[in-house]
A and B are shown apart, each in its own frame.
Chain A
Amino acid sequence: MTRLFLALLVFPGLLYAVPMGWLMLGSERKVVARLQGRVGPPLTQGFYDFVKLLAKAPVPRAETFLLTLLPILAVASTLGALALLPVGAGGFTGDLIVFVGLLEMAPLCSVLAGFASRSVYGEVGATREAVLGISGNVPFLAALLALASAAGSLQLAAVAGGAPWVVRGPALLALLACLPVKLRMNPFSVANAEQEILAGPLTEMDGPRLALWELAHALEWVVLAGLVAVLVVPGRGGAFVLVSFAVVPLLGTLAAATARFKIDQAARFLWIWAVLAAVLAFFAAMAVRHGSL
């Protein structure tokens, strides 16, 4: 129990993840700026944005309750997912399922918030987020399942250490392809396409509510990069932090180098290439289980 609280509140939870999330947001913007020949914002930008938004007085509106509840739910569940990463404290049987469930809460909340805000832009953004969420989740979950089946366990710690590299390689490729989808970055920034639908599902969020959404986004960065790190170096501590931070320039470069897909192109890319990698991982996992590899 103490270990779970420690994981939730200290590492890899609140105390580590919140500053790390802001640092990741800041360095992503910095990487994009440098590649565009600009100086870019300071690394602490995420922190300043959060504090400023928290101190704003939102305009009163009718749907306050739901629109306040959803970002709180998103932050809480993403923190929960973080606590299940097998660094520091150990997991429990079946934590992969809980992990995926908690991880998927934040996008689901954002879809609901888009519809609840009753804004046209919010609704269009929420629809796109839902479509992309489904397309992205098929290879994401398939890759995780392949890993779990190769390791013969639904425990994240066992999965991270247990799957051989024939399975882990293609599974990691599939997961990496899904990362920009889940973080709503180029070329998959379809749901928050600012030139066409303003801020997508978050168009009508303001003040502290928007601050919480930004925090949830920062935490999503830490979880997803952390998941990659856990699978690359299934150890604990320092290597985890380093590898998860190395994901940031990778995704930043991709975002700066690409334009935005149309929604159908994005879905097709995922259904062909990411699913292909996941299927490869699956076949490798089957071969491993039947002893032919």
Chain B
Amino acid sequence: MGVLEPILLRLVDRARRKSAWLFHFNAGACNGCDIELVACLTPRYDVEQLGIRLEGSPRHADILCVTGPVTRTTREALRTIHAQLPDPKVVVAIGSCPATANVFAGSPVIDGPVDRIIPVDLFIPGCPPRPNAVVQGIAEAIELLVAKGVAQ
């Protein structure tokens, strides 16, 4: 194992960098950020060439993408889903709502912003952010993911 271990670890790092699977959670967003995230998968931006895939189940995912200011009804679901992502995992908040609750700040039905509910690793600002910004944010999130994997 002694000689093999650094090689294996580097292989794992490389695999993590090349195959990041996303889970998208809408915590009460207006669908604006959701559309921009999905646009990244279309032929124009095509993040699949980086090995990025949008997964249906949080258990498959590496990166949790949250949109929306977290309403009262989505709070517990957000906690549950965050707990179901296997480690190492990264949480990315897309848009202004999950960062500051935006125009919904102070509303009695809003429990956000997101970092009050679950730890957030990266914010992508914008209302909504352009797909270029989302792609860049996810690329940074992948670096965080690799760093977390090393720490683990």
A residues near B, CB below 8 A? 29, 33, 36-42, 44-45, 47-52, 55-59, 121, 194, 198-199, 202-207, 210
Contact = CB atoms under 8 A, between A and B. Distances in A.
A52 B60 contact: no
A206 B48 contact: no
Contact of B43 (A38, A44, A59): A38
Interface string B55-89: 11101101000000000000000000001111110
A56 B55 CA distance: 16
A7 B149 CA distance: 37
Contacts, number: 88
A199 B48 contact: no
Contacts of B43: 36-38
Contact of B49 (A38, A58, A198, A204): A38
Of the candidates A33, A40, A51, the one having the most CB atoms from chain B within 10 angstroms of its own CB is A51
Interface pairs A-B: 9 shortest CB-CB? A198-B56, A51-B15, A206-B59, A52-B15, A39-B49, A48-B18, A38-B46, A48-B19, A37-B43
B51 A49 contact: yes
Contacts of B55: 199
A229 B33 CA distance: 47
| Majority secondary structure of chain A interface residues (helix, strand, loop or mixed) | loop
Given A198-B57, A210-B60, A57 B49 contact: no
B15 A39 contact: no
A152 to B, nearest CB: 48
Given A33-B48, A198-B56, A45 B19 contact: yes
Contacts of A45: 18-19, 51
B142 to A, nearest CB: 11
Contacts of B30: none
Contacts of A121: 57
A156 to B, nearest CB: 36
Contact of B59 (A42, A44, A59): A59
Interface residues of B, number: 27
13 contacts: A38-B46, A38-B48, A39-B46, A39-B48, A40-B49, A48-B18, A49-B19, A52-B15, A55-B15, A198-B57, A199-B57, A206-B60, A210-B60
Contacts of B85: 59
Contacts of A40: 46, 48-49
Contacts of B14: 48
B118 interface: no
B152 interface: yes
Given A45-B51, A57-B152, 16 more contacts: A38-B46, A38-B49, A39-B48, A39-B49, A40-B49, A47-B15, A48-B14, A50-B15, A51-B12, A51-B15, A52-B12, A52-B15, A56-B87, A57-B88, A199-B55, A205-B59
Nearest to B48: A41
Interface in B78-103: 83-88
Interface in B4-18: 11-12, 14-16, 18
